[in-house]
Amino acid sequence: MRIADAGSPGATRALVSEYLSNPGEGLINDMRRLVSAPWSSMIYLSPLADYEKALEGSANETRCRYVDGTKDPFRLLTGDLPLLLRLASRAKSSGSARLKVNPALDPDPSSHVSNWHRYSRQLLARSPVLYLTDSMRSLATWTYLSDRDTTRKAPRLPAFLVCPQLDPQHKAALDLYGVQWIESTVAQFTKTYLSSNREEIHQGLK
């Protein structure tokens, strides 16, 4: 993607939206592995359209409950299906939509995304958590991490961060929040540990 060649803010916006709304096959395959893994919930903070593309012609569509927190009115969810909650507006190829890359930080307490954001933080507070990102520059990611109890004497549920690189101050923060770093890209992690051929995946889906 060559942003420098776009020539104008409008053309740049259209180019970025085109890229985000048409992810490559590698990103789509990574999402297929993620959706197929035995999670109870997935909180999604990316405008990429890889989830929608991953479901095209896939049996996984019936295995997850998909909620678009930027559009769907808040409601309490029932049932046993794993939840995939999108908290970033999905990119459109037309480039006409205003992307909210971090709407999980929406200050309006009455908005759909703010209500779903609070719900997602409750989910993460009562379960082991795996954070997956290729960069820790996202303020939304740090918002979720900072929810964790920093009292070392208090029992804390396990948490892991998959990220290829961390600055020293980020490593120190992870130790404070009780999060273990897994040095890997998201793509490498999904290919290595979330392959459908792994026995652990099959056991978790039973």
Cβ contact 186:138 at 8 Å: no
Query: Considering the entire predicted model, what is its pTM?
Result: 0.77
What is the C-alpha separation between 174 and 27, in angstroms, rounded? 27
pLDDT digits 0-9 by tens, 64-101: 788 988 889 998 888 888 898 988 877 666 554 444 54
Q: Give Cα 69 distance to the centre of its chain.
A: 13
In a structure prediction context, what are the per-residue pLDDT tens digits for the chain, which is 206 residues long?
444 454 566 666 666 666 666 777 888 888 888 888 888 898 888 877 787 777 775 555 557 788 988 889 998 888 888 898 988 877 666 554 444 544 445 556 667 778 888 888 888 888 899 999 998 887 778 888 888 887 766 778 899 999 999 999 889 999 889 999 999 999 999 989 887 777 766 555 54
Cβ contact 167:198 at 8 Å: no
The two three-digit tokens of residue 21, written as one number: 């709304």
